[in-house]
Amino acid sequence: MDKQPVTPRRHKEMILEYPITGFVDGWYFRREEASPGHYMVEGCDIYGRKVSRSTSDDPDDALRDCVEYARSITQQSGTTA
């Protein structure tokens, strides 16, 4: 099976879905309260790779975990924005 080229998404598109920026180049994040006291944090890069974490604890900790995972993915793949 041939690999299909991935067209990076534009900043304007990404920011609408993932309004939290500035942590990892090319990555965008969002944090939502899925139910009372339970949070879902998701991140996506311009190439469509995703990270997520759900928690009933501190949503800021979940965001930090997603940011670290996104950094790890970026470093391993050698890609940047």
- Predicted confidence (pLDDT) per residue in 41-79, tens digit: 999 999 999 999 999 999 999 999 999 999 999 999 876
The pLDDT value recorded for residue 44 is 98
pTM (2 d.p.): 0.87
pLDDT in tens, 11-42: 999 999 999 999 999 999 999 999 999 999 99
The pLDDT value recorded for residue 42 is 98
Alpha helices for the chain (secondary structure H): 11-17, 59-77
